[in-house]
Amino acid sequence: MKAVIAGGSGFVGHHLGAELERQGYEVVILSRSVDSSAKYREVKWDGRSLGDWAKEIDGSDLVFNLSGAPIDKKWTPEYQKVILDSRVDSSRVIGESIRAAEKKPRAWVNASAVGFYGDRGDEFLGESAHIGSGFLSEVCTQWEQAALEPDIPEVKQVCVRIGIVLGHEGGIFPVMSKLAKLGLGGAAGSGKQWLPVIHVDDLARLFVWAADHAQEGAVNGCCPEPVTNAGFMEALREAHGRPFSPPVPKFALSLGSGLMGKEGALILMSQRAVPTLALSQGFEFNYGNLGAILDDLTREKS
């Protein structure tokens, strides 16, 4: 069995590759910069146009697309275009390669994000919730259209709306953990905004599960119990044995984000997303809440 991961050389791709290998798949990574010493065989692509890389799609069993420029940079008009194009173009060209393949994969699972829902306060957000407003909602809409609208009857097409991924090697956990250890682990703003978190290992399992078991369409990639920002930071401080830290005012967050060239709006968005479809269709989380996630990530490894 063979699985191809476009944009699979990063944090989530590493764990997805390991899960696929564990289940017996040969793993091939499509990457803009090939590393000959990487664990899995890497093939160069540009994420925009067909090329020799498309031969890897033909005859593969599963195709995953994780490609997309980071969103935690300042959203200048120029960079907004980079964020959008990197997602839509890669999804479009993956679809073109699958349509052209003589032996098509049985499933194509594409990344999306809970940004689809926009900033929604305390509203519970299952997959049937309507689209939100704002830049990320617009990006996710076009992203999912590029992955789900191509008519390929032989191939299951699924989008995973990824939440906040927690793990040692990437995402926000190493940064927030360091802040908590330094006594700077206060809530952001009011702290009432909801965070749809997920352990990176559960996310990897969910991607592979979606290929075989999910219905076509979108699936939320977050654990069953979202947590508020204040709750997240409190649990993180407790995990590291640190006392109370005062919240960081909204104006200070905006100032600090601007100085670091980051997009300050991200940390204040509230998305109370829940994995309604994954749970109803039989997926079992190994880390179903923040407590279980932190127990694993802060445990001393032998």
The tokens for 62 are 């599963």
How would you classify the pairing of strands 2-6 and 107-113? unpaired
Do residues 166 and 297 make contact, with C-beta atoms less than 8 angstroms apart? yes
Superfamily of domain 2-167+196-224+273-297 in the CATH hierarchy: NAD(P)-binding Rossmann-like Domain (3.40.50.720)
Residue, of 244 and 261, whose pLDDT is higher? 244
**Domain extent listing, the chain:** 2-167+196-224+273-297
| Distance separating alpha carbons of residues 49 and 226, to the nearest angstrom | 38
> Is 252 strand, coil or helix?
helix
Of 188, 190, 183, 189, nearest in space to 172 by CA: 188
Q: Global pTM?
A: 0.94
pLDDT at 11 exceeding the cut of 80:
yes
Neighbours of 16 (CB within 10 A): 27
Do residues 245 and 186 make contact, with C-beta atoms less than 8 angstroms apart? yes
| Distance separating alpha carbons of residues 53 and 32, to the nearest angstrom | 11
DSSP single-letter state for residue 241: T
Each residue of 211-231: pLDDT tens digit?
Answer: 999 999 999 999 999 999 999
* Confidence (pLDDT) at 257: 60
Each residue of 58-110: pLDDT tens digit?
Answer: 999 999 999 999 998 889 999 999 999 999 999 999 999 999 999 999 999 99
Do residues 32 and 18 make contact, with C-beta atoms less than 8 angstroms apart? no
Q: Return the CA Rg of the chain.
A: 19
Alpha helices in the chain (DSSP H): 11-22, 54-57, 77-100, 135-148, 173-181, 200-213, 229-239, 250-260, 265-268, 276-280, 290-297
Q: How confident is the model at residue 240 (pLDDT cuts 50, 70, 90)?
A: confident
Percent of the chain with pLDDT over 70: 95
